[in-house]
Structure 1
Amino acid sequence: MLTKDVSEELKAIFASLVAEGKEPSIALVKSRLSTPVPMPALITAMRSWKNQAKVPKIEVAEPQQEQSNEQRIATLESQVTELINRVMKLEAKLAGKAE
């Protein structure tokens, strides 16, 4: 699974909110994020920023690219073919042992 470090983005959001004269809140920060960040991670970042004026390293899962229906079907067909081959080999082994 690919991850993305959002710590720098959070620092920039905190700084921009302060520059605008606004008190950073979870809602304000969440609305400005380009990547969804889980609520516990946002709360941790907010507490750390308020207490120590720094943001801990926060990584979130990289959103996966949407596949077209054709790509999904091709992938599934490939998996089905592979599974059919495996089943045929297992059946052949079992038939050989039964004799």
Structure 2
Amino acid sequence: MNSVVFDAIQVLLDEGKTPTVALTKSRLAQPVPMPMIIAAVSQYKNNPDSINNFIKTSQQPENTELKASQLDRIEQKLDQLLALLEQK
């Protein structure tokens, strides 16, 4: 399953709303095929605990990659700023 869909379902749950296909689709951060949305919502409705298990297992690697990417961008900007200061 796509973690983006489960993230959208988690947002709805955090807001106290019951996930539906339409609500989940409206909360997506990026386009996802409709069958994937339907499957995720169905999975949640059949086993609400499955969303928690999926989010716990998939969340850590994504956060690590995101932090590394952000750190790389910050380092590049810092290098640019230091280069500008050295020129003056």
TM-score, length basis structure 1: 0.43
Structure showing greater radius of gyration is 1
Structure with greater strand percent:
1
Structure with greater helix percent:
2
